Structures are given as structure tokens and as C-alpha cells.
A = this chain, B = another copy of it.
């Protein structure tokens, strides 16, 4: 069902919805560990919540599709992950609160180390601090000269990450990545995916050639890669679509960017997860919808760190009673996709979800893990259905039809 139908049915209400997203929540069983990360973790609070909730599994964006965090979060918020997909560049720019204009083209930049043969030796030079990053950005800004009919910006995101923004008439995002996503090879040559992108391609090539000269004498970060070319357009906000004044409690820039794209308010610089729950409590009266994002589950999964992921799950389990204590009308705990530490990467597997509400169909699920949730009353559904379910359980949708 197209979530646009929900928009016609939205009615005002005073109810509160809390959505806790553990990034990369789902895992896979590892025989030597005795199960998946969720199955092995000690999660008394999440298990108790599951026992009093409607549980199920969400398919992030489609069967067999391993999503990036952009489309998988869009789906959770009721935006079509294919039609509304937006590139990493725009999300990174919004995440650092860069004031994008419609039609601006943005790309995510990574400072890298090239060896003397021009081969990528390190894609994430670890010792680049935010200060070094800022110095490199300044150096690029002060020395690169592009065509005078284009404005451009190069901004620090964090550590080795930055953002390139191009502003001008007739720019296009249809330019391919220079990032091969691995070491031991040369950066890719960007290509224009359609003739209208030829001019943007020339600008990008010009930028990269000058950057290579300017960074040549740097020790760690002697080059940069670009990926996720994308063009900013204004999204219809959650408040406009679903009547939800929304607050995002996320520390990673990309998620703050995504939240900003959808019109959520944000809180900058949240040092840790405990602080997110404190901010949830402090801001509780002022909003209808709260998106609380936990990143470390995904990080530990990508590191292949089974125990580390278990520890993050157990940390969240200790915090979750603070959300329950607020007595929200709807509390959902789920993930945007799976990141099994067995795979060290995002995956396509469905993600457990629990929906705690006075109007939920409480099922027989008593443990919050992948196989237990399979028996839940929410069944298995696309993540795109979640917004409708949250609004319904919060009594924020009128009846459809006579």
C-alpha cells in the first residue's frame, strides 16, 4: 500500500510515539556462540517488553535487498525507499547542518592514503583527527579554482569524512563514484551516466585533479574519494504528512541529516546513548514522535565483533525502561536492517520489531530475537508498513470508507 493513503486519514491526537532504532539490529546465529547476538544477549527488559507487545519481523526494503542506512530509514518513516531514495552526499551535507539549496549536488568525500603507484593503501586513515580534517578542507578551499559560474563548498564531516557541494545552474547528480570501496586498487574514474551530467563530470574531474596536487605532500591524507553524488530536493515533512512534530535523538551526522530532511528537530552533539534517553525525557512534552537512534549495534556488526554487539544490546536493554516509564502510547523497538557480525556487513535478513501499545495484539512471543519474533502477531511485513501501524496504534488515523 502506498503510504500516501495514510496522509488522507491522519487525525490530530495528543498521543506519543517513540521509535527506537538499533542500527543493524538483526544478526545470524553463530554456532560457537550458541545463537545470534540477540539470542545470546541478556535482555531482561526487552524480553519483558516483547512479552507485552505485538512482535514481528520487518523486511527493510525488499526481499533479498541489502539496504544502506538511507533507504532503510526512509522506509521506517513511511517514505518509499526506492522512489524517495536519496544519496549519501545530501545526507552527509544535511548531517553537518549545511544549508543546502534545491538542486545542489553533494558527494560524500573520504580522505585516503594513496601509495606511490597511485593505489589506495588506506580508505579510512585512522589517525586523521577532526582538526586535521578541518585544516585539509581549508587548504582545498583556499587553493582550488573551479569555473566561476559554479559555487562550491568542501566541509568537514568527521575524522576522515567530508562533503563536497556544488551549486549552480544545470548540475546533475548522475556521476559515478570514485570510491572502489576497497584498498589495493586505484580510485575509479568518475563517469557521467547521462549527457546532461557531462558538465558536472568536468567540474568533478577538475576538482579531483587540483585536490591531488594540493594534497600530494600530506602524509596520511594525500588524496580523497567521492561517492554518493546526489541532488537535494525538499521532502515533505513528517508533520505535513502525518501530523507528527518530531525529534531525532541521533549522534551520527548521516542520521541527523536524514531526520532533518524529513523535518525532524535534532539535538547536536549527544555524547552517548544514556544521554539520548535523558534528552527523550526532557523533550517529551514538546513532540509527538521521537526517533532514538543507536549506531553501535551496526558498528560492532561491521567489525565482526559478536561480543561487542551483544554488549551494545545489553546497554540498550538497561536504558529501555526509561522509555517505558514515559508511558508512551506507542513504543517501537526495531532496526533499520540486519548487520550480522558473522557477515561483517549489512544484510537483507528481516529485522525483529516489537510494538508496545494498549491496542496491540499481544502474542506469545516472550523473547526479543529473530526466531521468536517470527511467531509474533505483526507477522512479517515490509518496514514501509511501520508508519501506518504506529499511527493506527496511536489512534491517529480515521476510518477509511463507509
Contact = CB atoms under 8 A, between A and B. Distances in A.
A385 B66 contact: no
Nearest to A343: B359
Interface stretch (A167-175, A194-202, A360-368): A360-368
4 smallest beta-carbon distances between A and B, as pairs: A64-B388, A88-B402, A64-B392, A63-B385
Interface stretch (A42-50, A67-75, A146-154, A279-287): A67-75
A359 to B, nearest CB: 7
A1 B388 contact: no
Contact of A64 (B28, B379, B385): B385
A346 interface: yes
A380 B63 CA distance: 12
Given A67-B400, A377-B374, A29 B62 contact: no
Given A28-B359, A361-B28, A399-B346, A1 B65 contact: yes
Contacts of A263: none
Interface stretch (A79-87, A212-220, A243-251): A79-87
7 contacts: A1-B62, A64-B389, A66-B392, A66-B398, A67-B399, A71-B400, A374-B379
B70 A401 contact: yes
Contacts of A128: none
A371 B63 CA distance: 22
A325 interface: no
Contacts of A370: 361, 377
Contacts of A311: none
A57 interface: yes
Given A388-B63, A389-B63, A392-B65, A402 B363 contact: no
Interface string A225-259: 00010100000000000000000000000100000
A349 interface: yes
Contacts of A82: 5
Contact of A29 (B230, B362, B380, B402): B362
A91 interface: yes
Q: How many copies does the complex hold?
A: 2
Contacts of A63: 1, 381, 385, 388-389
B401 A348 contact: no
A361 B68 contact: no
B91 A402 contact: yes
Nearest to A62: B1
B377 A9 contact: no
Interface in A6-48: 6, 9, 28-29
Interface string A383-402: 00101111111000111111
Contacts of A393: 64
A346 B190 CA distance: 53
Contacts of A379: 57, 350, 374, 379-380
Nearest to A57: B379
B359 A401 contact: no
A61 interface: yes
